[in-house]
Amino acid sequence: MEKGHWWTVALTEQLAGAKPLAVVCDGRQLALFRNADGQAFALDDRCPHRRVLLSPGVVKPGGLQCPYHGWTFDGASGKCVDIPNLRRDEKIPAATVRAWPVAEANGFIHVFAGEGEAHDRLPAAAYRPQGREYTGSAVAGIGFDEYLDVMLDGPECLLAFPGVLITDFFLGEPRRDGAHLVLDRGAVWRGRGLGPAFVSDHPLLVRTRVPLAGGDIRVELLNAGEEALVTVQVAATANRRGTTSLAWRGFAHARVHAGPLGWRLRRLAGRAPFAVFGTIDGRAIAALEKAPSLARRGIIPIAAHRHEHACAAEESFA
């Protein structure tokens, strides 16, 4: 198995109350649930007794109870702790479901899948919302690796900032920033001027940060001064049959009121400053040329972060 990663599998509010949630994390079916104290757990969504899904089950004080015969599994260890039909003095068979480490941060639920010790660097750690948040989830009809590629080659196929036209002119090549590839592309306000072809310098930028491992994507709408107007954190992970699970949160920054009148009115009306597409236009994706994604696939070399060497040098002096 590959080295482990923290995957973002759901929004915190999707796992509410006593009802378990079925998710797929890197192709593996998991059952998420919370105990009475609100602590979240993740178990393989398969009862070792008769292979049924555990996620339609019921949360009991001892753990998650299988809907079929009531075998109950502890969330932390995955051990079977109860078979209700047995007499209290009878031994419970040594059945175990694989349990996965779970961590919650900034409105996302993370599961550590793969081998190795779970570290404490969570994918959404840097996501710090201000003001009203806009959230959602979907299963998109596109494979996980293709989804990340399209985020670099044509993010306008996967999301939109209403009132903004994202152009196909990306600036240079993706550069590496830690465990991510970062790429900026030009954007313009819709309905202003003659269109993107007549703009000498783009008034807006769309910056996508696509992971080299794991599935945490950050998309930002920036003004010409490279100040963020909108931030969107999109979590992607492989679902079954070549689909991709998505969960996202995003918000408009306070300086958003600096935009054109229509944009400002939409913000005042509380309209979402972005839309992540759950349904994807296959024709648009099929027509996309592979360009910056070639770097992600290792077909062309990745440009290093300009400041990386300087930072490394500073660290070595410290």
Partner 1 sequence: MNKEDLTRATVAADPKRDWIPSSLDLRDTWFPMAYGAEVGSRPLRRIVHAQNVYLWRDNGRIRAAEFLPGLIERMRPGASMFTGGSAYYPVHERYGYVWVWYGDPERAHEGLIPLIPFLPADGVGIPRYTQRSVRFDASTALSVENLIDLTHADFLHANTIGDGQSESDVVEFSSTSETLTRTRIVTRKSVAPVMRWVGGVRAQYQDLRAVLHVHLRNNLCISYPSFTPGYAIPNVQPFVPVGRHRSRVDQTNYTVHAPAPFRWLMPRISYIIQPQDNAVLRPQNARYLEPGQPRDMSSRFDAPGNRYRVLMTRLAERQRQGDFSYGADADPARDIADILGMHG
- Residue closer to partner 1 by CB (options 140, 238) is 238
Nearest 5°: CA angle at 122, between 116 and 126? 155
Find the shortest distance in angstroms from Cβ 95 to partner 1: 4
Contact 311, 318 (CB under 8 A): no
Closer to partner 1 by Cβ: residue 116 or 193: 116
Token pair of 202 as six digits: 């783009």
Cβ closest to partner 1, residue 4 vs residue 163: 4
Nearer to partner 1, 80 or 102 (CB): 80
Cβ 26 to partner 1 shortest distance, Å: 6
Q: How far is the CB of 176 from partner 1 (least distance, A)?
A: 25
Rank residues 97 and 210 by Cβ distance to partner 1 and give the closer one: 97
Report the nearest approach of partner 1 to the CB of residue 90 (Å): 8
Question: Which of 93/162 has CB closer to partner 1?
Answer: 93
Structure tokens at 159: 């999301």
DSSP 176-240: EETTEEEEEEEEEETTSTT-GGG-SS-SEEEEEEEESSS-EEEEEEEETT--EEEEEEEEEEE-S
Nearer to partner 1, 30 or 222 (CB): 30
Give me the count of residues in the chain.
318
- What is the pairing mode between strands 99-100 and 204-211? unpaired
Residue closer to partner 1 by CB (options 114, 203) is: 114
Measured from the CB atom, the residue of 53 and 160 that comes closer to partner 1 is 53
Residues in Cβ contact with 135 at an 8 Å cutoff, skipping those fewer than 6 apart: 11, 13, 107, 247, 248, 249, 250
Query: C-alpha 135: how far from its chain's center?
Result: 11
Residue 219 structure tokens: 């998309």
CA–CA distances in Å: residue 78 to residues 6, 20, 31, 103, 215: 19, 15, 11, 17, 26
Shortest Å, Cβ 94 to partner 1: 8
Extract the tokens encoding 130. Answer: 């201000």
Listed residue (276, 270, 235) closest to 252, CA to CA? 270
Q: How far is the CB of 67 from partner 1 (least distance, A)?
A: 6
Least Å distance between CB 296 and partner 1?
18
Indicate the helix (H) or strand (E) that contains 309. Answer: helix 308-317
Residue 176, both tokens: 């590496």
Q: Which two tokens stand for residue 215?
A: 């599935």
Q: How far is the CB of 302 from partner 1 (least distance, A)?
A: 24
Q: Which residues bind partner 1 (CB under 8 A)?
A: 1-2, 26-28, 46, 48-53, 56, 65-71, 80, 83-86, 90, 93, 95, 113-114, 238
Nearest-approach distance from CB 190 to partner 1, in angstroms: 40
Tokens of 253: 């920054």
